[in-house]
């Protein structure tokens, strides 16, 4: 259908040709002398209007009710100029075959249905125009993301999903549990190495074969190891956060794009993020830039009453972020830099003032924080001190510290939440509608 209607004259140049369309019935209008079917074949959002008289082969399937909304059909006919105003061409049906009938209980009827309802039908919602469109925008953004980084010499790195380290140090991790059928395990293991057995399954008690392991919150630390060998790299994959938050901007499983630039500082990092957003067409102008200290000043001067009080050192809440991008800067994207070290992760590079770190967050209207990034602490002594101050174990970060021991370089990177980008690009209100199968508290059914 996209091929026919996307061509010159929206298909008029192909009038007279015999074509076959295979797709799903979107709507069906039965009139006394003629039946109209809107068929979508998945090639685009555009439907083919199929016009059928009672002499068409297979017409009895209309009469018997076999051709119904969401049935899959094979239809052959001749392209003719359409009398209707919605399309230039339509298909005069010669033969129709129902490939798979659709039960009358099909839950998505023609009238508008709410996004909340469609979330309970995540297996059928891609058949709606909205979710068909979001899936295509998501695909285009993923393709543009790889294109941008590949054209700029970055190497794509697959970071692991199972890991022992907590990159953000926030403890918002899902544990990995090993459950193996005990019969299989018993054959290979010494008896005393086998932990609890329950219901015929060996339960390693929230361990990965006896050692603690989690689902990754970020691929950054792994990306840093490759950046200090291959120079500029990026990851693009699923990440997980065990935050029990029911907001329109948080998911328990989301995709993150994490570039890591070698021989780079915070300015290079912000320039890369800006160029990326301009390349994928979600931003035109350069972003407004201000320091965290100036942002606090702005919020303190605001006439608006905030739920969370503002003072230097506080973490910015979404109400603060929204005020800054939507009201103070009138819908312009904003970069805030140089945050207090107490509210940021251990790996961020300390600024000369001893109080702030070379961190940056990019905020956009409606969505809030789209990107979080920083220059990394490349000085071994500073990093070790910071781990000590935060009572984090130097032993477990031994390999990360090695990068500072053997040829350390200034480097920087950022993480962009892919669903927030889809949200921003499409205008879809809830992040759960920006990913095919959202994972949030209480939703892992599909
Ligand atoms: O600010 P965050 O936590 O930064 C990091 O994870 C760094 N390690 C990134 C880096 O420097 N390589 O997360 C980065 C971005 C956020 O700005 C946000 O867009 C998104 O990830 N994000 C979430 N998106 C959906 N649901 C959640 N629960 C998210 N948490 C973070
Ligand atoms: Mg952040």
Helices (H) and strands (E) in the chain, counts: 12, 18
Q: What is the pLDDT of residue 191?
A: 47
Residue 348 · residue 375 · CB < 8 Å: yes
**Which parts of the chain register pLDDT below 70?**
110, 180-206
Question: Does residue 77 fall inside a structural domain?
Answer: yes
Q: Which ligand is nearest to the CA of 362?
A: 1
For residue 426, give the nearest of 169, 133, 113, 123 by alpha carbon. 133
Question: Does residue 206 fall inside a structural domain?
Answer: no
Same domain, 268 and 155: yes
Same domain, 164 and 45: no
Residue 14 · residue 79 · CB < 8 Å: yes
Q: What is the pLDDT of residue 208?
A: 81
Question: Does residue 442 fall inside a structural domain?
Answer: no
In the chain, how many domains are there? 2
Residue 40 · residue 124 · CB < 8 Å: no
Question: Does residue 443 fall inside a structural domain?
Answer: no
Side-chain half-sphere exposure of 401, counting CA atoms within 13 A: 16
Atom number in ligand 1 closest to CA 371: 17
CB atoms within 10 A of CB 58: 19
Question: Residues near 328 by Cβ (< 8 Å), separated by ≥ 6?
Answer: 298, 302
Residue with tokens 């890369």: 272
Q: What is the pLDDT of residue 169?
A: 81
Q: What is the pLDDT of residue 202?
A: 60
Atom number in ligand 1 closest to CA 252: 28
389 Cα–ligand 1 center, Å: 24
Residue 62 · residue 95 · CB < 8 Å: no
Domain range spanning residue 245? 132-176+213-433
**What Rg, from alpha-carbon coordinates, does the chain have?**
28
Nearest alpha carbon, ligand 1 atom 27 = 250
Pocket test for ligand 1, best of 369, 422, 441 (most atoms within 8 A of CB): 369
59, 85, 100: which is the final residue of a domain?
A: 100
| Domain containing residue 10: CATH number | 2.40.50.140
Beta strands in 274-426 (DSSP E): 288-291, 334-340, 356-364, 368-375, 411-417
Same domain, 8 and 55: yes
Nearest alpha carbon, ligand 1 atom 19 = 417
Same domain, 400 and 316: yes
Question: Does residue 105 fall inside a structural domain?
Answer: no
Question: Does residue 387 fall inside a structural domain?
Answer: yes
50, 79, 100: which is the final residue of a domain?
A: 100
Question: Residues near 205 by Cβ (< 8 Å), separated by ≥ 6?
Answer: 177, 195, 196
Atom number in ligand 1 closest to CA 414: 11
DSSP letter, residue 351: P
Atom number in ligand 1 closest to CA 167: 8
Q: What is the pLDDT of residue 197?
A: 64
373 Cα–ligand 2 center, Å: 8
Q: Which protein residues are within 6 Å of ligand 1, measured from CB?
A: 167-168, 218, 220, 241, 243, 250-251, 254, 256, 258, 369-374, 413-417, 419-420
Same domain, 402 and 302: yes
| Domain containing residue 266: CATH number | 3.30.930.10
361 Cα–ligand 1 center, Å: 10
Query: Which own/partner contact pairs does 379-383 have at CB distance under 8 Å and 24+ positions apart?
Result: 379/404, 379/408, 380/404, 380/405, 380/408, 382/349, 382/350, 383/346, 383/347
Question: Does residue 400 fall inside a structural domain?
Answer: yes
Pocket test for ligand 1, best of 224, 420, 431 (most atoms within 8 A of CB): 420
Same domain, 233 and 324: yes
Pocket test for ligand 1, best of 218, 343, 347, 377 (most atoms within 8 A of CB): 218
Same domain, 77 and 158: no
- Give me the count of residues in the chain: 446
Question: Does residue 113 fall inside a structural domain?
Answer: no
Render pLDDT for 175-214 as a digit per residue (tens, 0 to 9): 988 776 666 555 555 544 555 666 666 665 557 877 889 9
Same domain, 336 and 393: yes
Pocket test for ligand 1, best of 166, 415, 433, 434 (most atoms within 8 A of CB): 415
Q: Which ligand is nearest to the CA of 218?
A: 1
ipTM above 0.90, yes or no: yes
Q: What is the pLDDT of residue 120?
A: 94
Token output for 339: 């945050």
């Amino acid at each position: 259908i996209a091929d026919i209607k996307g061509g010159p004259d929206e298909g008029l140049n192909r009038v007279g040709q015999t074509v076959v369309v295979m797709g799903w019935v979107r709507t069906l209008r039965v009139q006394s002398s003629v039946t109209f079917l809107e068929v979508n074949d998945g090639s685009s959002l555009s439907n083919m209007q199929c016009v059928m008289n009672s002499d068409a082969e297979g017409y009895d399937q209309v009469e018997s009710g076999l051709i119904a909304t969401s049935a899959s059909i094979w239809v052959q006919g001749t392209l003719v100029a359409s009398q209707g105003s919605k399309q230039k061409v339509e298909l005069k049906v010669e033969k129709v075959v129902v490939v798979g009938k659709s039960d009358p209980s099909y839950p998505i009827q023609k009238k508008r249905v709410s996004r909340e309802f469609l979330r309970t039908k995540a297996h059928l919602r891609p058949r709606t125009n909205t979710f068909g469109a979001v899936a295509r925008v998501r695909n285009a953004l993923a393709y543009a993301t790889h294109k941008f980084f590949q054209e700029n010499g970055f190497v794509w790195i697959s970071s692991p999903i199972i890991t022992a380290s907590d990159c953000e140090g926030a403890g918002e991790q899902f544990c990995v549990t090993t459950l193996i059928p005990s019969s299989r395990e018993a054959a290979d293991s010494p008896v005393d190495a086998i932990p609890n057995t329950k219901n015929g399954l060996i339960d390693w008690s929230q361990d990965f074969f006896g050692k603690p392991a989690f689902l990754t919150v970020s691929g950054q630390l792994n990306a840093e190891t490759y950046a200090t060998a291959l120079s500029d790299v990026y990851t693009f994959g699923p990440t997980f956060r065990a935050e029990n938050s029911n907001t329109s901007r948080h998911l328990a499983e989301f995709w993150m794009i994490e570039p890591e630039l070698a021989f780079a500082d915070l300015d290079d990092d912000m320039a890369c993020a800006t160029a990326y957003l301009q390349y994928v067409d979600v931003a035109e102008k350069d972003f407004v830039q201000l320091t965290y200290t100036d942002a606090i000043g702005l919020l303190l001067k605001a006439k608006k009453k905030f739920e969370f009080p503002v003072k230097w050192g506080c973490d910015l809440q979404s109400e603060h972020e929204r005020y800054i991008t939507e009201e103070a800067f009138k819908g312009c994207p904003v970069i805030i830099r140089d945050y207090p070290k107490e509210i940021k992760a251990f790996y961020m590079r300390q600024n000369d003032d001893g109080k702030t770190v070379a961190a940056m967050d990019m905020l956009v209207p409606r969505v809030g924080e789209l990107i979080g990034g920083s220059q990394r602490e490349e000085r071994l002594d500073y990093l070790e001190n910071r781990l000590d101050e935060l009572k984090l174990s130097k032993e477990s970060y031994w390999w990360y510290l090695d990068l500072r021991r053997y040829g350390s370089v200034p480097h920087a990177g950022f993480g962009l939440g892919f669903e927030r980008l889809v949200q921003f690009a499409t205008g879809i209100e809830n992040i759960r509608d920006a990913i095919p199968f959202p994972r949030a508290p209480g939703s892992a059914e599909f």
